[in-house]
Amino acid sequence: MLSRHIFSTIPIVLNFIPAVLSQTYYTQNAHFKGKNFLDAFNWETFDDPTHGRVNFIDQQTALNTNLSYADDDVFIMRADYHQIVPSYARGRDSVRITSHDAWGDSLLVLDLAHMPEGCATWPAYWTVSKNGPWPQGGEMDIIEGVNLNNNNLASLHTMTNCTMPQTRSQTGQVVSTNCDAAVNYNQGCGVAFATPASYGSGFNTNGGGWVATWRSPNSISHWFWPRNAPNVPDEIRQGDSDVVTPGENWGTPDATFVWPQCDYNSHFDPHQIIFDLTLCGDWAGNAFPTAGCGPGNCQDFVDNNPDAFGNAFWEINSLTVYTPSSF
């Protein structure tokens, strides 16, 4: 609050403010909205590495079939919800996009109107090292869950020797503390957000909201505000071009990851941003029988119930990347 006051009222003092302030001044490096996504992201078409019952399609096919849609205001990507999938097919048509660019220390602000929900779905908004090979350089999952989950799970997946303290300053619940991808079948270190409005149908019922992710040598922290929350910070709601001191006056984060037992610099390097929607696979498929989605198995459900995927879509208002700037 103090620093903002100084900036707005006596800018001339800036020249004399010591360098320490520059570390907390973030400025817009990239802003993705509507059609920007078409140029800034790659539509991946490989087999889903998590073994989902999906067929990731290229951008032209996605636009032709309206499984991806962009205008000036919004970007939408979804799974097909019309066709029966033949058993010999690779899976139900869906979309996975990866940013061309990569960022290290940064503030990501996602304004999201709708996320995929429903049985068999496994959507994720996440980042991963551009250099790799995975898990070198790290993976940071920001929005993730499966089936009828109603609390978001944020996690990290890393090389060896990276764990999280059980107790941290966050409102979410610690699910697991070892980030090493080679441990616990790549469970990673995860934190479940406290509010059901943070994922799936609860998220969508509220018209979505904002997720801010601040990645720095001090911590990785995530804040979530539902659309109708009374306490959405002005700079987040308005999409300001600069953010001074991320986290200041934002309240306790929903999830936070800190480094006393993990060397940040050797475990994390610049990351690309990914949005995807897979179906079944290693997590959603294995959890399907106990998710209240049966009877039957996940693959049969996906193949034979196109109507179940009408709400399996991402609707993104904007994604903004801020990077630390020095004067």
Ligand X SMILES: *[C@@H]1O[C@H](CO)[C@@H](O)[C@H](O)[C@H]1NC(C)=O
Tell me how far CA of residue 100 lies from CA of 109, 319, 322, 326, in angstroms.
18, 14, 16, 25
Q: Which of 182, 142, 144 is nearest to 162 (CA)?
A: 182
In angstroms, rounded to a whole number, what is the distance separating the alpha carbons of residues 186 and 45? 24
| Residue 139 designated active-site | yes
Q: Residue 263, interface with ligand X (CB under 6 A)?
A: yes
> What b/e sequence results for 78-96 when a residue is b if at least 16 CB atoms lie within 10 Å of its CB, and e otherwise?
bbbbeeebeeeeebbbbbb
Q: Are 224 and 207 in contact (CB under 8 A)?
A: no
When binding is defined by CB under 6 A, the residue of 22, 60, 64, 66 that contacts ligand X is 66
262 sits near ligand X (criterion: CB under 6 A)? yes
Q: How many residues bind ligand X (CB under 6 A)?
A: 7
Token pair of 100 as six digits: 């061309």
Rounded to an integer, what is the distance from CA 156 to the centroid of its chain? Answer: 12
User: Of 29, 69, 194, 258, which lies in the binding site for ligand X, with binding defined by CB under 6 A?
Assistant: 69
User: 């006393």: which residue's tokens?
Assistant: 260
With CB under 6 A as the contact rule, the residue among 161, 184, 205, 241 that binds ligand X is: 161
Where does this chain touch ligand X (CB under 6 A) — which range of 23-31, 79-87, 241-249, 260-268? 260-268
Q: Taking the CB of residue 127, how many other CB atoms lie within 10 A of it?
A: 25
Q: One of 44, 117, 144, 235 is an active-site residue; which one?
A: 144
Minimum CB distance to ligand X, residue 321 (Å): 25
Query: Which of the 8 DSSP states describes residue 89?
Result: S
CB of 203 to ligand X, least distance (A): 18
Stretch that binds ligand X, among 85-93, 175-183, 198-206, 255-263 (CB under 6 A): 255-263
Whole-number minimum distance, CB 315 to ligand X, in Å?
8
What is the radius of gyration, based on Cα positions, of the chain? 20
One-letter identity of residue 310? G
Identified catalytic residue from 139, 235, 248, 315: 139
Closer CB to ligand X, 102 or 113, in the complex: 113
Q: How far is the CB of 94 from ligand X (least distance, A)?
A: 15
Does residue 261 interact with ligand X by CB under 6 A?
A: yes
Interface contacts to ligand X, rule CB under 6 A = 66, 69, 76, 161, 261-263
The catalytic residue positions are 139, 144
